[in-house]
Amino acid sequence: MGKTNLQNLLILGVLILSFSDCSLDYDEVRVAEDISAETPETVLNNFKHTVVRAGKVAFILQAKRAEEYGIKKRIVLKDVHFQEFDEEGSLLIEGWADRAVFNTETEDADLSGSIYIYSYADENSLTAKHLSWTREGKILEAGPQEPVQLRRDDGSFVEGLGFRADFRRKKLEFSSEVKGSYVREEED
């Protein structure tokens, strides 16, 4: 065997040994994908989003922190404050939540923490710890064990578990443990 053949054989042997230790490790790729799905693509502090219709402010959404997860098609908002205005610019609804998760594809949202929503037109408020908004159908609801309270400015209130508000049909309902008090104003 010549010197060149021996060198070629040695090189071939080293290559075989080096490739025999090699394997395609897809776990690292999966971990990287999982990390990227859990890591926000964009983080904004003191976030403010204003929607204008026909030259007037229709909606303002503010959050101390907004995290956008493009892969999951969601935006996570922390310390949320929102306001909705009518066509004349009067404040209709105002609310707060500790956290909101907004689906950018469906425009559905989950609110959690200390939630407070006030309707200036109806002079009433809603408090809860968890609510889900479904844009399609305009449904606001809490789970079957989630307490929700509705309170009017006159002192009337109703509270219970399993809240559901269908804004298209103008229907409110609770599924259990409903109680409340109605204040009737005396006419002069």
pLDDT, tens digit (0-9, with 9 covering 90-100), for 61-97 = 999 999 999 888 899 999 999 999 999 999 999 999 9
Average pLDDT over every residue of 36-60: 89
> What contacts 24+ positions apart, CB below 8 Å, involve 20-28?
none
What is the predicted pLDDT for the residue at 20?
Answer: 47
Question: How far is C-alpha 138 from the geometric centre of its chain's CA atoms?
Answer: 16
- Could you give all domains of the chain from N- to C-terminal order, each with its CATH number? 41-121 (2.60.450.10), 122-188 (no CATH)
pLDDT digits (tens, 9 = 90+) for 111-131: 999 999 999 988 999 999 999
pLDDT digits (tens, 9 = 90+) for 34-45: 556 678 898 999
What is the predicted pLDDT for the residue at 10?
Answer: 57
pLDDT exceeds 50 at position 180: yes
* DSSP per-residue letters across 38-55: HS-SEEEEEEEEEEEETT
H helix or E strand, kind and range, residue 64: strand 56-69
